[in-house]
Chains A and B, each alone.
Chain A
Amino acid sequence: MTPLQTEHRSDVDPLLQLDDVRTHFKTERGRVRAVDGVSLTLRRGRALGIVGESGSGKTVLSRTIMGLLPSTAEVTGSIRYSGTELIGRGRGGMRGFWGREMSMVFQNPMVSLNPVMKVGEQIAEPLRLHLGMSRSDAKATATRLLTDVRIPEPERRIDQYPHELSGGMRQRVMIAIALACGPSLLFADEPTTALDVTVQAQILELIAEQRRDRNMSVVLVTHDLGVVAGHTDDIAVMYGGKLVETAPTTLLFSEMRMPYTMSLLRSIPRLDDPSHTRLPVIAGRPPDLVAPPSGCRFAPRCAYARERCHQEEPPLVPTSHPDHLYACWYPVGSDEFNEREADLVRSGAVPVAIARGEQK
């Protein structure tokens, strides 16, 4: 047990509690360890950002919680939602949770909406199915939901098909569907990746506003630390199926310890840097989860890795702040890290301005 769990056990009211969750897929190549021992807690009304690259396991983790996995998946560990164990319920057992308790907004609104069904019917469907509303009540509620997600002229839009709406409006419809049955927990899996920056800002604001109004918890899954910075209370960074750093958002940004988190942040082009600023990159690709590397899974790509990182797997340990955990032998700020960082700055791999900007 890590200290985080004992700490959070005493939490008054955790909505969601994950304990050593593993999701493995059987494939011809072997066992894919997509999620490999994740423990975390989400309190009511909080927004959690799950951040990582493609293949880090962030999407599989959220689908594991929702029970939306193919039959090749094997899930172990414990997922408790308001005290009820979710693992082992199967699709039939999860149905009662979908819509009313938890729902999901997917990445691509064009693919996720039914192209031959009016948007109003798509919003009314969960209302009738999960809440047993009559057709006319469902339609009235659907119109109100479209108003809630700021779609102009909802009475007209309700009778339109998805192709008649812009990408941003389609994503608003997806959010209306997800909110329809008043869930306590909303998953948003890369909800803005397919959208323009202006629309992205509006959609993130909409999700934040609905969370406040409905006292809902939100799990925002994304590869972009910029997206989670302004819209979450806590962040969990995943790499290779494991949690590598987790902390309240402000603490994570002000005192990040895991070189992976820092490298992700540094790879985002910043507006205040002059043009043609060279971006520090994370070399290579995420590990093959059939045969993950021994030791720290990030070590083969880590510019700060040493012998020990390739041999021994670092445990998730707390900093002086009990809510901030990280898994690294030579974290940001340690003597070994600083020594290597000085070399990287000297060689030009890390621009001086960027190194200075983040060294606290």
Chain B
Amino acid sequence: MTSAPHLRQRDDIVLSVQNLVVEFPAGRGRRVYAVSGVDFDLATGETLGIVGESGCGKSTTGRAIMQMPKPTSGRVEFEGRDLVGLSAADLRSARTRIQMIFQDPISSLNPRRKVWDSVADPLRIWKRGSEADIAALVDRVLESVGIDPTRARESRPHEFSGGQCQRISIARALVLDPSVLICDEPVSALDVSVQAQVLNLLEDLKAEFGLTMVFIAHDLAVVKNVSDRVAVMYLGRICEIADSDDLYARPAHPYTRVLLDSIPVPDPTVTPQPVDLAGELPSPMSPPSGCRFNTRCPSADDVCRQEVPEMQPIGDGHYVACHHPLVTPVTIGGVV
């Protein structure tokens, strides 16, 4: 596929998303172009970070992988099958292998159930062993996320803090032993101290359960901490994708630069720079032509307003969709 040179030819690709498009009807014949042709892949054991502002389509992308709702077009290949075409029954069983955790940990748990039961439910629904087997597994998973199983048997979500509820949500996602975990802003609602606990926990669990992760967030510093590779999204498209250390060392897309500059530095000797970002995010109902970032980009010109930039390599595994990248494109080992 020429339009997506950043998709890799490897044997250990677990999840491959190709030309994913998600549109929603908005009434009166209008459409919301939430995701407009997104490609990425995940190798076993890898963590892919997806960053961008509200409205960039990052959460929609995460949900479209889970087929909730189904994408408008495109492929989501998971363990060799395209999830988009699956029957409802096949999709249900595939979803035991891809699980998701959400931003608001308290509202993603049933307030009227004991949290232990919420964690045990997936196992009961899928009849994974006897009640005794289930109990043993639930206790073990709760312990690995740092929740006391005895307390979980007696308590409902409101009796736990936000950080603890996120741990419980993670346990619920892990009991079915998924291969891919999609984390949609899992730490955005938490204090920095609790955020650090959950980030470390996710790293530990990734090793313990052999997980491959998609980590969606708006904070680049958080994403860098957990990810091997990072995709930057803007208004429904990926504008840059690279190994995380490389992305931070040599951001090539002007939008990536803006995101990096916006992060507050916990050092008073660093004077905050005014953010070089004009105007507001355009409406996804009428996205700009050409490069979607052109209305806010300091280096936009006529080409940017007319032609959609193609993904081009600018380093090893580093791709950018920009007519005027901040890093000079280099051809490594011939054209991909």
Give A residues with C-beta under 8 Å from B.
53-54, 152, 166-169, 196-202, 204-205, 223-227, 229-231, 249-250, 252-253, 263-265, 267-271, 273-283, 285
Contact = CB atoms under 8 A, between A and B. Distances in A.
B268 A253 contact: yes
Instruction: Name the interface size band of chain B.
Output: 35 or more
B69 interface: no
15 contacts: A166-B281, A198-B259, A202-B277, A223-B191, A225-B266, A229-B266, A229-B270, A253-B266, A267-B195, A268-B221, A269-B222, A269-B225, A271-B224, A271-B248, A275-B227
B245 interface: yes
Interface stretch (B34-42, B196-204, B314-322): B196-204
A226 B225 contact: no
Nearest to A249: B268
Contact of A229 (B194, B195, B265): B265
A270 B220 CA distance: 9
B263 interface: yes
Contact of A279 (B163, B225, B260, B281): B225
B153 to A, nearest CB: 20
Q: Which of A152, A199, A253 has the largest count of B CB atoms less than 10 A from its CB?
A: A199
Contacts of B269: 250, 253
Given A267-B193, A268-B266, A275-B225, 16 more contacts: A53-B193, A167-B54, A197-B262, A201-B272, A201-B275, A202-B277, A225-B192, A227-B264, A230-B270, A250-B269, A271-B221, A271-B263, A275-B244, A278-B200, A281-B200, A285-B161
B262 A282 contact: no
B191 A53 contact: yes
A273 B265 CA distance: 13
Q: Which 4 pairs, one residue from A and one from B, show the smallest C-beta to C-beta distance?
A: A267-B196, A226-B264, A230-B272, A279-B196
A205 B274 contact: yes
Nearest to A232: B268
A54 B270 CA distance: 27
B270 to A, nearest CB: 7
Contacts of B248: 271
A217 B225 CA distance: 36
B334 interface: no
Given A201-B264, A250-B269, A268 B224 contact: no
Interface in B269-309: 269-272, 274-275, 277, 279-281
Interface string B232-264: 000000000000110010000000001111111
B225 A277 contact: yes
A226 B266 contact: yes
A249 B249 CA distance: 29
Contacts of A285: 161, 163
Contacts of B220: 197, 271
